[in-house]
Amino acid sequence: ETGVTQSPTHLIKTRGQQVTLRCSSQSGHNTVSWYQQALGQGPQFIFQYYREEENGRGNFPPRFSGLQFPNYSSELNVNALELDDSALYLCASSFDRGAGTGELFFGEGSRLTVL
């Protein structure tokens, strides 16, 4: 069973640039969620994709956008980067939106630094 993989693991951008982060979901999972974890904080929900459609969204501006592909992998795009976007971005996969079980399988994250 292949777990959740994310790329890149680390990257550095400058303010105003755009970034794309990628996630491959665990085999058999059709739901991908993205979370932002600032230093010393808990993960904050950005959005969730289920069967290629956005299925829920947290309190993040529209410059955070995403995609889910037919193989259920996903991308997180952030435009017009700001210094406060520096964080660990976590991808989590599950089956059928977690189906109430709440068990999400997380990748190790992509650490973004915005200078």
Is residue 107 at the binding interface for other proteins, with CB under 8 A as the rule? yes
Is residue 10 at the binding interface for other proteins, with CB under 8 A as the rule? no
Q: Which is nearer to other proteins, 58 or 65 (CB)?
A: 58
The maximal CA–CA distance of the chain, rounded, in angstroms, is 39
Dist CA 107 CA 57 (whole Å): 19
CA dihedral 66, 69, 71, 73 (to 10 degrees): -20
CB of 106 to other proteins, least distance (A): 4
Q: Map residue 7 onto helix, strand or coil.
A: strand
The residues of the shown chain that bind other proteins, judged by CB under 8 A, are 3-4, 31, 33, 40-45, 48, 50, 55-58, 90, 92, 94, 97-98, 100-109
